[in-house]
Chain A
């Protein structure tokens, strides 16, 4: 038995908002793969929970009229990886969430839970940062659209107001059209492990495929919350696809990152792999875009 004080099951988004407003101390539970573990460990023992697990309208991926990719917040990782829209437009997100835990965790864990927990190591987060994703929140006052970089406030804390829940994550068309991306999770094991560092890169090449038109790079575990490396991005835009440019790009990421020492890895090691992963991930994104890197 879980040590739960009360469980309120929401049948719809409106129902969830009402329950959250009536029970201000209650915590949302989606797939429960963070919440139930915390209840078991005692950190959330005795909690009141509002379960949104039954709101099927929040599951699934679709293309909106303006071309934005809409991912319902309750969509599980395995469903994101298998989704044809994701595979066609932003396959890197499907690959990133396919590194989470093991198969059973990917069937229960949701992208909403992975971003609302505010955790820097969340494997979807760096990729969503790198694609300028928009978080859709629905609450008593209606809907809000928040850029994901503003949604994360500090470690473990996101911009969720009383009575609000996250209902979707959207990737605008201009963010993904013409871009290809790659994610690398650096961990000690191939499965069931939390990232020591996660690095997600996407790139748009010039028409002749010889230069970088745009590039975006984001990290998990390189700071208290996921973060972009804007200085490296800005310096690389317009540059030709050469080994030298890639090396400089990789070195430049350190200007924006602030990893720490933890039992998983030292700060110095994280800085080292941040550089190595930046180069590898960009090289792979270039390859996926049909570009070649010159000496």
Chain B
């Protein structure tokens, strides 16, 4: 079988991009190899661990089980797109550091993108709901509690509940 390519046009971290992609590529392959967005990790590559998680049109997807050609016309956000224009980290990234929610760091970008989806709802979620929203990720280092705290604190801070955030 001769190689099959397709031109894909999509927005990645706010910039309109165009690329000839191999139809056999996963979105992880495209983001890492063609755009050097290496926050998108290759973990299990079968949808189990969430290390490759990115936001497409506002929803989280494991990019390892998403064909690159499906990105046509889509708006994709990876961890690289989160930092502020002046290069400082976003609140959720800083919270992961402050709460020691990062050890080896392999799971971190995936978790943070799910956290972004949670924060973008603009709602105050129950502990149970936060845990459920993070349940598509595996972390072999932290034991999850610090990750949960980083997300909950950031959620409360964004809602102006500084005192409640401190108490978490």
Contacts and interface: CB of A to CB of B under 8 A. Distances in A.
B47 A33 contact: yes
Nearest to B26: A2
A4 B48 contact: no
A118 B133 CA distance: 28
A219 to B, nearest CB: 25
Contacts of B133: 103
Given A1-B25, A7-B23, A104 B46 contact: no
Nearest to B118: A103
B127 interface: no
Contacts of B62: 104-105, 108
Query: Size band of the A side of the interface?
Result: 20 to 34
B24 A4 contact: yes
B136 A102 contact: yes
Given A6-B4, A102-B50, A192 B135 contact: yes
Contacts of A37: 46-47, 65
Given A32-B66, A32-B67, A37-B47, A104 B23 contact: no
Contacts of A7: 4, 23-24, 67, 69
B61 A108 contact: yes
B60 interface: yes
A258 B133 CA distance: 35
A107 B59 contact: yes
A3 interface: yes
Contacts of B114: 103-104
A37 to B, nearest CB: 5
Interface string B133-166: 1011100000000000000000000000000000
A102 B70 contact: no
A9 B69 contact: yes
Contacts of A36: 26, 46-47, 65, 67
Contacts of B46: 36-37, 40-41
Contacts of A51: 67, 69-70
B139 to A, nearest CB: 13
A103 B113 CA distance: 12
A164 B70 CA distance: 22
Contacts of B72: 54
Contacts of A268: none
Contacts of A190: 132, 135
- Identify whether the interface residues of A are mostly helix, strand, loop, or mixed: mixed
B69 A108 contact: no
Given A32-B66, A51-B70, A104 B24 contact: no
A78 interface: yes
B168 interface: no
A191 interface: yes
A3 B22 CA distance: 11
A49 to B, nearest CB: 9
A115 interface: no
A204 to B, nearest CB: 31
Nearest to B54: A104
A102 to B, nearest CB: 3
B1 A6 contact: yes
A107 B47 contact: no
A206 B5 CA distance: 61
A230 interface: no
A105 B47 contact: yes
B39 interface: no
A17 B50 CA distance: 34
Interface in A177-198: 190-192
A101 interface: yes
B107 to A, nearest CB: 13
A105 B136 contact: yes
Nearest to B62: A104
Nearest to B57: A107
Interface of A: 1-7, 9, 29, 32-33, 36-37, 40-41, 51, 53-54, 78, 101-105, 107-108, 190-192
Given A2-B26, A3-B24, A108-B66, 16 more contacts: A1-B24, A32-B65, A36-B65, A37-B65, A41-B46, A102-B136, A103-B114, A103-B133, A104-B114, A105-B47, A105-B136, A107-B59, A108-B62, A192-B48, A192-B135, A192-B136
